């Protein structure tokens, strides 16, 4: 006998208070959206060149400075397009001649591909490791001026401790799913970039980059050079606009507003340490549950490399697809694995906005669904 997974009803007392466990776009808190509705009359639909929006951008920049504990001289730079656009901007405006990439999943490979395709750059040096692991950081290769790291590989649920490799290359970190939920030390990094739809519970379409003084110097140096760059991808133009609390072209004001609300929430509750405490609590529960489960196990075998913000859980004896269908029928969504990884796996976003108690409830829901599914086939 087989059971239609979409017909499974999870008992009410097992359900989480919010069923959004995706890895981006991810859960937006209700308070952010209520505040947005209230901001309609004085912010939405007004000029991004006037004080209300400029104050908002300034407050985002100051808030991130505080959240990350940046030294004086660092700048938060922002522009339209998301982290994917930042890769293209970086091939124009950060890499002088050659970059080195540590590749361990879909996202880290995309920046390496962008650099390899850029006709004005030398062939990148690429160090790879299997999905579910990350490569060890080596001394920077000769001729490399930019090292690309990924704080959290969202496609596999592997996170990497950030430390500056030997050598004087700029260290440029894709922190898209990590920023705001994992620890890092600014001295180990020059550029820490991300989009707001992951830990910052916002919407996509924007990139933000914390830039050290050395990174700003590189941006200005390349900006002065005769390298051609489309203006919308020009980091020197983005930097100039950002320090004036503006963007080169019109940003989505609602996106900025949601981001700002989340930064305030993070700071008001205790800052990055508080956020990290939440993601650690959520992920400790998820991995302990999986290790104790007869049918689930953490995909990342080295506990030191297991992400606190994106948990990947392999299933045996039950189809992850059926589990996801049953969860979705009960308004628990986006627990699907990264498609291209091709594993029988669940992937759970545990960003700071997600309640740790909801992760605990989620595991009870999965147990319930798997119980019904396996009973039917037994
Ligand atoms: C989501 C993600 C991206 C892509 O972000 P976009 O805003 O869609 O461009 C890049 N890198 C990582 C690590 C991500 O998680």
pLDDT tens column, 44-102? 999 999 999 999 999 999 999 999 999 999 999 999 999 999 999 999 999 999 999 99
Write down which residue in 246, 268, 290 finishes a domain: 268
Say how far apart CA 131 and CA 105 lie, in whole Å. Answer: 6
The residue to mutate among 82, 85, 112, 176, having the most atoms of ligand 1 within 8 angstroms of its beta carbon, is 176
Q: For residue 2, what pLDDT band results from cuts at 50, 70 and 90?
A: confident
> How many angstroms does the Cα of residue 375 sit away from the middle of ligand 1?
39
The reply to whether 60 and 195 lie within a common domain is yes
Nearest CA to ligand 1 atom 13: 176
pLDDT of res. 256: 98
Residue 5 lies in a domain: no
Q: Is 107 in the pocket of ligand 1 (CB under 6 A)?
A: yes
Total domains in the chain come to: 2
Give the CATH number, domain containing residue 184: 3.40.640.10
> How many angstroms does the Cα of residue 107 sit away from the middle of ligand 1?
7
% of residues, the chain, pLDDT over 90:
96
The residue to mutate among 23, 79, 84, 111, having the most atoms of ligand 1 within 8 angstroms of its beta carbon, is 84
The 125-128 sheet, strands edge to edge: 75-80, 206-211, 191-194, 170-174, 146-150, 99-103, 125-128
Residue 4 lies in a domain: no
For 193, the enclosing helix (H) or strand (E) is: strand 191-194
What number is the average pLDDT over the span 225-254?
Answer: 97
pLDDT in tens, 172-193: 999 999 999 999 999 999 999 9
Atom of ligand 1 nearest to the CA of 83: 9
> What residues contact 167, with CB distance under 8 A and at least 6 apart?
139, 140, 144, 147
What number is the average pLDDT over the span 109-127?
Answer: 97
Give the CATH number, domain containing residue 288: 3.90.1150.10
What number is the average pLDDT over the span 156-167?
Answer: 96
> How many angstroms does the Cα of residue 167 sit away from the middle of ligand 1?
27
Separation in Å, CA 177 to CA 96, 180, 198, 220, 366: 26, 8, 5, 28, 24
Q: Is 205 in the pocket of ligand 1 (CB under 6 A)?
A: no
> Which residue has 């690309």 as its token pair?
148
Nearest CA to ligand 1 atom 7: 82
Does 378 score more than 80 pLDDT?
no
pLDDT in tens, 312-356: 999 999 999 999 999 999 999 999 999 899 999 999 999 999 999
Residue 9 lies in a domain: no
pLDDT in tens, 245-291: 999 999 999 999 999 999 999 999 999 999 999 999 999 999 999 99
Range of the domain at 294: 16-28+271-377
Q: How many H helices and E strands in the chain?
A: 10, 12
The reply to whether 153 and 24 lie within a common domain is no
The reply to whether 225 and 362 lie within a common domain is no
3-state secondary structure at position 347: strand
Does 122 score more than 80 pLDDT?
yes
Q: Is 24 in the pocket of ligand 1 (CB under 6 A)?
A: yes
The reply to whether 194 and 278 lie within a common domain is no
Question: By CB neighbour count within 10 A (0-12 exposed, 13-18 middle, 19+ buried), where does 85 fall?
Answer: middle
The reply to whether 48 and 189 lie within a common domain is yes
Does 1 score more than 70 pLDDT?
no
pLDDT of res. 171: 98
pLDDT of res. 41: 83
Q: Are 365 and 330 in contact (CB under 8 A)?
A: yes
Nearest CA to ligand 1 atom 5: 83
Alpha helices in 165-252 (DSSP H): 213-224, 235-243
pLDDT of res. 316: 98
């Amino acid at each position: 006998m087989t059971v239609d997974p979409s017909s499974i009803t999870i008992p009410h007392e097992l359900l989480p208070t919010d069923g959004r466990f995706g890895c981006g776009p991810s859960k937006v808190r209700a308070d952010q959206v209520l505040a947005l509705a209230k901001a309609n009359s004085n912010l939405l639909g007004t000029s991004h060149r006037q004080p209300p929006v400029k104050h908002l951008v300034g407050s985002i920049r100051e808030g991130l400075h505080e959240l990350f504990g940046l030294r004086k001289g660092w700048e938060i730079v922002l522009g339209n397009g998301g982290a994917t656009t930042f890769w293209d901007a970086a091939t124009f405006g950060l890499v002088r001649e050659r970059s080195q990439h540590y590749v361990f999943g879909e996202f880290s490979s995309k920046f390496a591909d962008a650099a390899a395709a850029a006709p004005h750059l030398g062939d990148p040096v690429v160090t790879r490791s299997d999905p579910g692991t990350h490569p060890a950081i080596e001394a920077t290769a000769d001729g490399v001026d930019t090292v690309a790291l990924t704080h959290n590989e969202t496609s596999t649920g592997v996170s990497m401790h950030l430390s500056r490799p030997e050598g004087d290359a700029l260290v440029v970190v894709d922190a898209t799913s990590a920023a705001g939920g994992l620890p890092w030390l600014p001295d180990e990094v020059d550029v820490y970039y991300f989009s707001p739809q992951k830990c910052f519970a916002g919407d996509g379409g924007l990139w933000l980059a914390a830039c050290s003084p050395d990174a700003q110097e590189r941006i200005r140096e390349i900006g002065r050079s005769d390298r051609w760059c489309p203006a919308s991808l020009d980091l020197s133009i983005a930097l100039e606009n950002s320090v004036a609390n503006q963007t080169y072209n019109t940003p989505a004001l609602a996106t900025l507003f949601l981001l700002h609300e989340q930064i305030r929430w993070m700071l008001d509750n205790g800052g990055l340490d508080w956020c990290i405490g939440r993601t650690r609590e959520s992920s400790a529960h998820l991995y302990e549950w999986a290790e104790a489960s007869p049918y689930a196990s953490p995909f990342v075998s080295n506990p030191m490399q297991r992400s606190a913000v994106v948990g990947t859980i392999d299933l045996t004896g039950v189809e992850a697809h059926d589990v996801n269908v049953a969860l979705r029928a009960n308004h628990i969504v986006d627990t699907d694995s990264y498609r291209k990884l091709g594993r029988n796996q669940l992937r759970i976003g545990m960003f700071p906005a997600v309640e740790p108690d909801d992760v605990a409830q989620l595991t009870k829901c999965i147990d319930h669904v798997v119980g019904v599914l396996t009973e039917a086939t037994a």
